[in-house]
């Protein structure tokens, strides 16, 4: 039945069938997260980094209502240049399929489709989470529920620092989602290596992560794992500078009544403007770093399973 909806790229399909390392990649970062041509350039470089580290990249999106795991270069270019791409979360999938629309996958949807295809490791920039004031607004990303329910490990540079990181971690804890620091004792805050919040466990090697993932899923402990991989020191932004930029962007969002799925792209774009583009450069570098670590974890997991 799945074949009716799901199209896995031949290279990715072959790798999955042979038990080889595959890394899932989201597409919202291409369509909504960065301007053209930086977005397409970034996507191609991420794929290259994953291959250099022994895994096969599988960018995930919905093209003309077809769920795709693994895209061609033409499809990535299309996502990076087209203006009518829906930002697709769990609730949107049935309607994007029935209306034959084009959709870019968020963290939540990338996890769903990766899991359907049999891909267990996913690299992204940062996860969604509880927005500031979520205790009153209930503005909480669907990414967190997906992490509670779907067996995919997510390598990220923490939660986007525009969010309430403390509330996000509390939510993950309630849902039994392990939060790991890759070579770090603190959960990273996207543009900065530190957030002021600790992780559940620090791990210092990709093999250690892979061994824990195998144990978790062998025991049928449903759900994902958040692997917080801090941005490399040389690309980290000044903590006070980025905090001030975020506060300014949040104030503007409130004044303009920006809510729902429009919030994150608006805030990221504002922060980019305020920081004179430095935040975009940091964003790209942390994605590259996450792709490298994800490929190493996927390779170790594949080796253990063999």
The residues annotated with a catalytic role in the active site are 26, 160
Q: What is the mean pLDDT of residues 174-201?
A: 97
Output 268 or 152, whichever has higher pLDDT. 152
- Residue 47: predicted pLDDT: 98
142 annotated as a binding-site residue: yes
Q: What is the mean pLDDT of residues 102-106?
A: 98
Q: What is the mean pLDDT of residues 71-95?
A: 97
Q: What percent of the chain has pLDDT over 70?
A: 100
- Residue 272: predicted pLDDT: 85
Helix H or strand E segment including 266: helix 263-274
87 annotated as a binding-site residue: yes
- Residue 55: predicted pLDDT: 98
**Structure confidence at residue 16 as a pLDDT band (50, 70, 90):** very high
143 annotated as a binding-site residue: yes
161 annotated as a binding-site residue: no
User: Residue 176's CB: how many other CB atoms inside 10 A?
Assistant: 11
**Structure confidence at residue 107 as a pLDDT band (50, 70, 90):** very high
Hey, is 63 helix, strand or coil? strand
User: What whole-number distance in Å separates Cα of residue 231 and Cα of residue 158?
Assistant: 9
Question: Is the predicted pLDDT of residue 157 greater than 80, yes or no?
Answer: yes
Q: Which of 27-36, 48-57, 118-127, 253-262 has the lowest mean pLDDT?
A: 253-262
Torsion of CA 9, 87, 106, 90, to 10 degrees: -90
User: What whole-number distance in Å separates Cα of residue 237 and Cα of residue 242?
Assistant: 7
**Structure confidence at residue 127 as a pLDDT band (50, 70, 90):** very high
Output 162 or 53, whichever has higher pLDDT. 53
Question: Is the predicted pLDDT of residue 269 greater than 80, yes or no?
Answer: yes
Let me know if 147 is exposed, middle or buried by CB neighbors in 10 A (0-12, 13-18, 19+): buried
**Structure confidence at residue 258 as a pLDDT band (50, 70, 90):** confident
Q: 180: which residues sit within 8 A by CB, 6+ positions away?
A: 199, 200, 201, 202, 203, 209, 212, 225, 226, 227, 228
298 annotated as a binding-site residue: no
CA geometry: angle 171, 155, 288, nearest 5 deg:
140
Question: Is the predicted pLDDT of residue 211 greater than 90, yes or no?
Answer: yes
Q: Which of 35-49, 59-73, 106-120, 129-143 has the lowest mean pLDDT?
A: 129-143
Please provide the average confidence, as pLDDT, over all residues in the chain. Answer: 95
């Amino acid at each position: 039945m799945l074949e009716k909806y799901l199209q896995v790229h031949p290279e990715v399909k072959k790798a999955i069938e042979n038990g080889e390392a595959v890394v899932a990649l989201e597409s919202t970062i291409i369509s909504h997260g960065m301007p053209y041509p930086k977005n397409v350039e970034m996507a191609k470089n991420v794929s290259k980094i994953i291959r250099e580290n022994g895994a096969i990249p599988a960018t995930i999106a919905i093209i003309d209502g077809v769920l795709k795991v693994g895209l061609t270069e033409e499809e990535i270019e299309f996502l990076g240049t087209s203006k009518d791409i829906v930002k697709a979360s769990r609730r949107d999938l049935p309607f994007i399929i029935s209306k034959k629309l084009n959709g870019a996958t968020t963290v939540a949807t990338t996890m769903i489709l990766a899991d359907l295809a049999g891909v267990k490791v996913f690299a992204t920039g940062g996860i969604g989470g509880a927005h500031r004031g979520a205790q009153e607004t209930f503005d909480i990303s669907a990414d967190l529920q997906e992490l509670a329910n779907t067996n995919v490990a997510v390598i990220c540079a923490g939660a986007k620092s525009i969010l309430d990181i403390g509330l996000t971690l509390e939510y993950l804890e309630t849902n039994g989602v392990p939060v790991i620091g890759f070579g770090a004792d603190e959960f990273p805050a996207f543009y900065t290596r530190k957030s002021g919040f600790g992780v559940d466990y620090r791990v210092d090697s990709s093999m250690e992560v892979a061994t824990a993932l195998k144990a978790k899923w062998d025991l049928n402990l449903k759900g994902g794992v958040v692997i917080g991989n801090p941005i490399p020191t040389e690309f980290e932004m000044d903590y006070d500078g980025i905090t001030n930029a975020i506060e300014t962007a949040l104030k503007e969002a409130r004044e303009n009544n920006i809510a729902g799925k429009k919030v994150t792209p608006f805030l990221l774009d504002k922060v980019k403007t305020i920081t004179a583009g430095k935040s975009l450069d940091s964003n790209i570098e942390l994605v590259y770093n996450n792709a490298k670590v994800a490929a190493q974890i996927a390779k170790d997991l594949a080796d253990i399973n063999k």
